[in-house]
Amino acid sequence: MKLDVLEKEVISKLIFEEHFENIINECKPLALPTIIADILKYLIHHKLVVAKYPIEPHIGPSKAKSGFMFDSDRMRDYTYQITAKGIKSLV
């Protein structure tokens, strides 16, 4: 799968599990938050990124699990990480 420059920039920030706010802050110079959110949704849809729901929300990303349900209206409730397929798409 061929990714454009902005998609590659976003996905490259997700080698380690990241909160939505961190992704927005790191990508702020690249695009508006709504565009970054749309890119994340696209990457999740194509299984290049996985959304994880925190088991203990105040602990941090290390206590999260991936699931089959993802509510795109509540993106701040999840953490995000690149998948193996996503890593292959960077090459």
* Mean pLDDT value of segment 38-62: 81
Interacting residues of 69 by C-beta distance below 8 A, sequence separation 6+ = none
β 18-19/64-66 pair status = unpaired
Domain boundaries, the chain: 5-90
* Mean pLDDT value of segment 33-51: 96
* Mean pLDDT value of segment 16-38: 94
CATH node for 5-90: 1.10.10.10
pTM: 0.84
Write down the pLDDT at residue 34: 95
Determine phi and psi for 58, rounding to 5 degrees: -90, -5
Write down the pLDDT at residue 69: 76
